[in-house]
Structure 1
Amino acid sequence: MAAADARGYEGFEGTAAEFTSESEPWWPEPRRARAGAPNVIVMLIDDLGFSDLGPFGSEIDTPHIDALADDGWVFTNYRTAPMCSPARAALLTGLNPHRAGFGFVAHVDPGYPGFSCELPAAAPTLAESLRAGGYATFMVGKWHLTLESRLHDGADRRTWPLQRGFDRYFGSMDGFTSLHHPHRLVQDNSVVDVREFPDGFFLTDELTDRAIGMIDDLRVNEPDRPFFLYYAHTSVHGPIQAKEADIEKYRGRYEDGWNRMREQRFARQRERGIVPPHAELPPDPLADGASIPAWDALDPEEQRLFARHMEVYAAAVDEIDQSVGRLRARLERSGEWDNTLVVLASDNGGTAEGGPTGTRSYFAQFGASGAMPDGWVRDVPRDVDDIGGPRLFGQYPTGWARVSNTPFRSFKATTYEGGVHAPLIVSWPDAPMTGGLRDQFVFVSDLAPTILELCDVPPLDERHGRPAFEMDGGSIASVLADPAADGREAQYFECVGRRAIVEGGWKALSTVPPTRDEGPEGGVWELYDLAADPTETRDVAALHPERVRALAARWHAEAWRNTVFPLDDEGALFRLRPDTEEPLSAPVDLIPFRPPLERFRSSKLTVLRSFLVEVDVLVRDDAAGVIVAHGDQGGGYLLALDDRAPLLAYNAYGAMRRADGPRLAPGSHELVLRVDERPGLRWRVALDVDGAEVARIDDVPMLLGMAPFTGISVGYDYGGPVDWELHERHRSFPFRGGELRRVRYVPGQRSTHDATELRAVGRAVLAVAD
């Protein structure tokens, strides 16, 4: 992100205060909902491809979603943002993603309004407007609309769900989590304090239980009050996991491979009118064929491995459908289903982050910026049947992601249709309109104004005493009523400098940001006539240079109005961070047996640096248990006493290393865990007891990016264990037979591989806001 005045983007008139939230209490007086107002369920599915549901051509069993489609509206021309946080922000505010503060997912903080990763203070959410309109407002699942640096237990909660309009919340504030052992769960404004999860726990089921419980609690007390439920699934984002019984249901279903499966889905789409008869399936040279192995060229072992990945993915989609069925059954019992408006969509296209062969070591290649050194292991081999279960963090291969996005090109995070063209189903049995297929252009920011109109609830006209931002989206109620009604005329897209605009059936896109000399409209643009070529198989830019220039200019105007600039042409989106994060890297004393330190807060002590863990422990004759654990089956480290003997365990993205020392004599001891950086993004891990080294693991790959994913727990190993064998013997292995008097993390110097630049913008924004 080059400086604005160097790129021709000067003249931005907004102030930092306009794009930060206020902390003072703000609760608009609710009015009574109109008689007969519908309940509303918005179900958002993470990283689901266009063709992954039955109504859109899938072979996956989705009978309950099929029933929604049969009674409702199926949108074949719905588009969303290329990534998840931007789509969620647009859905909840009716704003375009950058105007809503989310030009990227909530893991950056470079200091620009369009990338603030906070919903603007003057942008009421759908939940806030509906609550003011008399609705009870509930949310379960993935939030992902709060800065990482404000996810910890001492953080300002102004951007947490309850402060943005929800009466009740249960789920994961982060972008994803393990479904078998969630790394962190939040209920309302507090972390859920649980040591370990019971065998058979599964988050999708738990979220559905919680959602039904919220409805039950409301109905006991207010039988006629309408509710808004925002159910944001954590499936099917990586790590892709499912229950074994559901995986078994799909065993053998994908042995024919991804090419045949893609062709079969495309044929069903044509039969059902999901794609027009003249649409073509993009051939390999256009459709990432170079990164997808030919199925018939794979050996049987590879085919079984890759098929298992897709079996797990299918099971996870099936489980989402089961959640729809359970909610429907609950509302049918109370006679409420017919008057429930359901909106079901995906937040972006299917993802290729698993790479050509998929991975059983998700964090070895996810969330890390920059090139990895030679020899870096991206897929630690393990039993194929463990894929999808609690012992393994997996992601399906690119070939299956292409199947998910049938019939479109490319994947999540791109501005090709594969990144932004998603399924949308609307159902409302009591609606005064008739359902069916709709091919009008609809964008994610259109959903909030549509829901408000159908519920007869006006959007709030102010928030925190400020005039509310005008929504960018427009209601599509007329499209529901009339198959011939007009849809959206135009929409811009941008992701990490990748640009696109759709206008009147034409689409111009550029896969890379322009150079400084080219200016914001410059660079190489492709052009597609979507009416004739909906799957982007024929670039006609050379035939229509004037149209390309006009669309590039329109993109520039839209981008300027929506605070898209500056473009990420120098990697600054990931490199620049506010200096207000610096205190998170100061030494800290941790308290035994409390909930784990939050993921990002923990990472500031360990990731891309050397560090020490200093322990003052009193050992008795029966001393045993975990002293400190950081991470899970996706990668982590652990220090424990096993029958008074020190034990080091290091999980290198699935590859286990262990070392132990001699038993400690009863009494007080000073333990120092030393984690020292070595060349090539490696660590050396050693343990000193009373000044003498007693155990060492010489050379392991650093845990970086999003790993360790589960935060630091002291006195036990929370949730997903670092060492599965230790977990099988002792479960969370709480420390006993002594006293953890002090556990202190002391971060060392940052690695030379850490390109982060801390800038004073953080304190400047706070000063203006105050």
Structure 2
Amino acid sequence: MAVDAHGLPDDLPEAARAYAGFQGRIGRTMAGSEPWWPPRPQAGENAPNVVVVLVDDLGYSDVGCFGSEIATPHIDRLADEGVRYTDFHVTPMCSPTRAALLTGRNSHAAGVGYVAHADPGFPGHAMELADDVSTIAEVLRDNGYATLMVGKWHLCKDADATDTGSRRSWPLQRGFDRFYGILDGLTDMFHPHALYRDNTRVTPEEYPEDYYFTDDITDEAIAMLRSAKASDPSRPVFLYFAHGAVHAPLNARAEEIERHRGAYEAGWDRIRAERFRRQRELGVVADGTRLAPRNSETGDDVRPWEELSEDQKQVFARYMEVYAAVVQTVDASLGRLRSALEELGEWDDTVLLFTSDNGASREGEAQGSTQYFDVLRHYHGAGDLDGAFERDRQAIDLIGGPRSLPHYPRGWATASNTPFRLYKINTHAGGHTVPAIVSWPRRLSGVAGGIRRQYVHVTDVFPTILELTGATAAGHRHGVGLKPLAGHGFARSLEDPDAPETHREQYYEMQGHRGYYRDGWEIVTRHVPLTPFGDHEWELYDLRADPTETRDLAARYPELVAGLAARWERAAWENQVFPLNEGSGLQRARRPEREKAFARPVRLVPGTPTLERYRSLMLVYRRSFRVTVDLDFAPGDRGVLFAHGGKSGGYSMSVDGDELTYVHNHSAEMTELALGAVTAGRQRIVLDVTALEGGTHVDVRVLVRGQVRGKADALPMPMGMAMFQGIDVGVDRGSPVSWARFDAEGTFPYTGTLHSVTWTPGDPAPGTGPETLAKLREIGMAFE
């Protein structure tokens, strides 16, 4: 055999010749070859663990170390051993803050300029993370970290939170090795509507009686940490712990609520004054700071506590008792997490950031509600919260428990946001100024308990983590060049209270509200829907002298207002903020053509996992529809034939004692139709639902073997997320449509032969079809 100068056969193919010359060696045996392993990510020497704890809708003053009367010993201990940032800012809403936190880019630039339950078709409002931004999880994983997440994601389109939806903006596709929690924006804390483990939906037949979501995700986080450190103790961990609390529904166990019995009878005005006093004593607010007056803007106004009736005081105080209990569950969770890290010997080498995703929420409006989804109907123009007060008064002892889905009145949100103005969604300080604590025992013991007054924005977290970990970020992702970071690292200020501010200017925008900060000056608007945008809306504040925005200086410094307004305009174009939401409703109403697939008929057979919330909703939302049950009945068969929704709203049909029953649940107000006996044999049972004008009410008919057995007219149609749980066939999993039936039978699985149940969507309700979109667009264009 002829060989060349290297001893290789002359006829050796080129690929084999290149392999043989690998790294300049020609090895014929294992012993004669130099090994080569592809490089693996490796964290820098002494790289710390990183934990970010993000609480949902927590107000600035809701924890003890920021002035609260609520006992939060674990959070307070964190502040005593670390540093508090008292001028820390996020966006005024949850999904955008999460996008900015994880990517270090402004939320619109990251593709999530609004809450992820819309998809109007614009880059800044795509409601999923863009391809040209990286997440801190992706970067840290590339740098050798194990990346873990539990809790609320809320960064993918709701249409993609399905078994066949795109996972491109799910946690595991955006850098996390492990995930356990919810993809949606909220859930029932006792009966979560849809849990996910990694890339797979979990559908339990029923939840244990003592189940509680915060406890569950805390258990999972601890298990993930233990597993990661047992697998490779040298590998640092990034844990993103994104609470579902204290977002509504405000649920807590009875014994936790009872600890706060009577604590809020003095009312929100007194609580607010006492919190402000403690904030001054703690040094959270600087000397000379004024407490902003009680919110008085139309639609955001809060009545003085003393003007309320005794019944109102009693019910409203109960809401805050529940809220305080929920805050304490967050504190207990943090305590358990810390104990686990201490047990693993990892606490001293862990950087932990504790903060909130926006200011306290005013969604409960003036009265609050025992059924949060009343609020959603109200926003859809289909309900009056004031009219539900008597129901709530009668159910006062149930508020906060598993049979309620409460939200407190906005008077308590004003107290939660002490000392600032307005609420979540607003670009005034109450919407985006939040508590923030950083702990790192190995580095911060010498400055423990310190307060930092530098202006910091949530986009600064990403570059700060890079500084503290020594991680490097690539300039591309999957071959796509990345947008530059918007944030600026604040690591120096951790140990130096006099370090200069690194974040000098920042724009804000949410639902037409706008704001711009630069070097202590701020312009801000409170935009009224369906009114013109313009310079006339701007207010101007000198935040160095007036951090609570009590003295509007716009008339005194018009040139400064104009200059800052021009900077806002430029930032808006740079960050794909436009188009602005003018308040017509078009932003939520306009959806992509591909979603029409969700309104196709579906035939479900027993044993099918709960059909996802969004697909289920599109079969019935503001439209007529028909449900056809194919049943082969034998006397004695019993159980649920189908159930759509849960305790907050829905509809269901069942058989018991050979009698057929239909149940319609509107915010726990039940309508029940007794439909008579079911005879033996194969048959069809039809629920025929006709949507009325506007799609907020429906007429219901039930037919058995072609004969009308029962009817009800003008029933309220559960709206949007009110049917937060999807469709079950042959069982009622999770949160029950009917508590009375659940108390007697549990999930009540059907015992007979149920062949299938078919949903056939009909026409949109009058006044909700394509012509409505055209009208909304016409309305919006008036403010272009």
Q: TM above 0.5, one fold?
A: yes
- Would you say the 8 A contact 1:658–1:697 is kept in 2? no
What letter corresponds to residue 733 of structure 2 in structure 1?
Y
- Would you say the 8 A contact 1:575–1:756 is kept in 2? no
- Would you say the 8 A contact 2:53–2:353 is kept in 1? yes
Deviations 1:499-529 (A, max 9, x none): 100111111012228999x8x7634211111
Structure 2 residue aligned with 1:555: 568
Pick one of 419, 424, 431 that aligns with 1:412.
424
1:375 & 1:450 partners in 2: Cα distance? 44
Structure 1: which 5+ residue stretches go unaligned? 1-27, 761-770
Pick one of 694, 714, 723 that aligns with 2:738.
723
1:508 & 1:122 partners in 2: Cα distance? 30
Pick one of 331, 335, 349 that aligns with 2:359.
349
Counterparts of 1:264-275 in structure 2 under 5 Å? 264-275=274-285
Structure 1 residue aligned with 2:479: 465
Structure 1 residue aligned with 2:437: 425
- Would you say the 8 A contact 1:157–1:163 is kept in 2? yes
2:302 & 2:707 partners in 1: Cα distance? 52
Secondary structure of the corresponding residue to residue 425 of structure 1: strand
CA shift in 2, pair 1:571/1:699, >3 Å: closer
- Would you say the 8 A contact 2:630–2:683 is kept in 1? yes
Counterparts of 1:178-197 in structure 2 under 5 Å? 178-197=188-207
CA shift in 2, pair 1:45/1:646, >3 Å: same
Match status 1:173 vs 2:183: yes
In terms of mean alpha carbon deviation, does 590-599 or 530-539 score higher? 590-599
Q: How far does residue 705 in structure 1 lie from its aligned partner after superposition?
A: 2.5
Q: How far does residue 297 in structure 1 lie from its aligned partner after superposition?
A: 2.8
Secondary structure of the corresponding residue to residue 474 of structure 2: coil
CA shift in 2, pair 1:94/1:682, >3 Å: same
Secondary structure of the corresponding residue to residue 661 of structure 2: strand
2:588 & 2:211 partners in 1: Cα distance? 35
Match status 1:496 vs 2:506: no
Q: How far does residue 753 in structure 1 lie from its aligned partner after superposition?
A: 4.2
1:308 & 1:65 partners in 2: Cα distance? 24
CA shift in 2, pair 1:223/1:285, >3 Å: closer
Counterparts of 1:231-242 in structure 2 under 5 Å? 231-242=241-252
Structure 2 residue aligned with 1:765: none
Deviations 1:570-595 (A, max 9, x none): 44322321111111111111232322
Secondary structure of the corresponding residue to residue 52 of structure 1: coil
Deviations 1:368-426 (A, max 9, x none): 65433679945543421111111011100111110000000000001010001111111
Secondary structure of the corresponding residue to residue 77 of structure 1: strand
Secondary structure of the corresponding residue to residue 154 of structure 2: coil
- Would you say the 8 A contact 1:649–1:656 is kept in 2? yes
Pick one of 530, 534, 540 that aligns with 2:543.
530
Secondary structure of the corresponding residue to residue 662 of structure 2: strand
Deviations 1:569-622 (A, max 9, x none): 244322321111111111111232322111111110111111110110111222
In terms of mean alpha carbon deviation, does 400-409 or 433-442 score higher? 433-442
Give TM-score, length-normalised by structure 2. Answer: 0.90
Structure 1 residue aligned with 2:14: none
Counterparts of 1:456-605 in structure 2 under 5 Å? 456-487=470-501, 488-512=503-527, 522-569=535-582, 570-605=584-619
Structure 1 residue aligned with 2:233: 223
CA shift in 2, pair 1:377/1:668, >3 Å: farther
2:244 & 2:683 partners in 1: Cα distance? 43
- Would you say the 8 A contact 1:346–1:422 is kept in 2? yes
1:757 & 1:158 partners in 2: Cα distance? 33
- Would you say the 8 A contact 2:605–2:755 is kept in 1? no
**% identity of equivalent residues:** 45
In terms of mean alpha carbon deviation, does 284-293 or 215-224 score higher? 284-293
Secondary structure of the corresponding residue to residue 385 of structure 1: helix
In terms of mean alpha carbon deviation, does 545-554 or 216-225 score higher? 216-225
Structure 2 residue aligned with 1:18: none
In terms of mean alpha carbon deviation, does 375-384 or 359-368 score higher? 375-384
What letter corresponds to residue 454 of structure 1 in structure 2?
L
- Would you say the 8 A contact 2:692–2:766 is kept in 1? no
Match status 1:384 vs 2:396: yes
2:535 & 2:89 partners in 1: Cα distance? 25
Q: How far does residue 684 in structure 1 lie from its aligned partner after superposition?
A: 1.8
2:276 & 2:521 partners in 1: Cα distance? 23
Larger Rg: 2
Pick one of 82, 93, 100 that aligns with 1:90.
100
Q: How far does residue 468 in structure 1 lie from its aligned partner after superposition?
A: 2.2
Structure 2: which 5+ residue stretches go unaligned? 1-37, 775-784
Structure 2 residue aligned with 1:20: none
Structure 2 residue aligned with 1:625: 639
Pick one of 63, 80, 92 that aligns with 2:73.
63
CA shift in 2, pair 1:514/1:609, >3 Å: closer
Structure 2 residue aligned with 1:10: none
Q: How far does residue 678 in structure 1 lie from its aligned partner after superposition?
A: 3.0
CA shift in 2, pair 1:591/1:450, >3 Å: farther
Secondary structure of the corresponding residue to residue 430 of structure 1: helix
Structure 1 residue aligned with 2:169: 159
1:679 & 1:237 partners in 2: Cα distance? 32
Pick one of 107, 132, 141 that aligns with 1:131.
141
Match status 1:733 vs 2:733: no
Secondary structure of the corresponding residue to residue 431 of structure 1: helix
Q: RMSD across aligned C-alpha pairs, in angstroms?
A: 2.1
Match status 1:747 vs 2:761: yes
Give TM-score, length-normalised by structure 1. Answer: 0.92
2:287 & 2:496 partners in 1: Cα distance? 23
- Would you say the 8 A contact 1:510–1:523 is kept in 2? no
2:384 & 2:655 partners in 1: Cα distance? 35
Deviations 1:320-356 (A, max 9, x none): 0000000111111121111111011100000111011
Secondary structure of the corresponding residue to residue 170 of structure 1: strand
- Would you say the 8 A contact 1:684–1:700 is kept in 2? yes
Q: How far does residue 224 in structure 1 lie from its aligned partner after superposition?
A: 2.3
- Would you say the 8 A contact 1:576–1:756 is kept in 2? no
CA shift in 2, pair 1:656/1:603, >3 Å: same
Structure 2 residue aligned with 1:78: 88
What letter corresponds to residue 548 of structure 1 in structure 2?
V
Structure 2 residue aligned with 1:608: 622
Pick one of 719, 725, 733 that aligns with 1:710.
725
2:259 & 2:529 partners in 1: Cα distance? 48
What letter corresponds to residue 704 of structure 2 in structure 1?
V
Structure 2 residue aligned with 1:395: 407
2:766 & 2:95 partners in 1: Cα distance? 30
- Would you say the 8 A contact 2:368–2:385 is kept in 1? no
- Would you say the 8 A contact 1:142–1:175 is kept in 2? yes
1:359 & 1:247 partners in 2: Cα distance? 17
Structure 2 residue aligned with 1:768: none
1:506 & 1:273 partners in 2: Cα distance? 22
1:182 & 1:547 partners in 2: Cα distance? 49
What letter corresponds to residue 233 of structure 1 in structure 2?
H
Counterparts of 1:289-304 in structure 2 under 5 Å? 291-304=301-314
Match status 1:439 vs 2:453: yes
Q: How far does residue 47 in structure 1 lie from its aligned partner after superposition?
A: 0.5
CA shift in 2, pair 1:290/1:706, >3 Å: closer
Deviations 1:29-75 (A, max 9, x none): 75111232211110100001000011110011110000110111100
What letter corresponds to residue 591 of structure 2 in structure 1?
R
Secondary structure of the corresponding residue to residue 619 of structure 2: helix
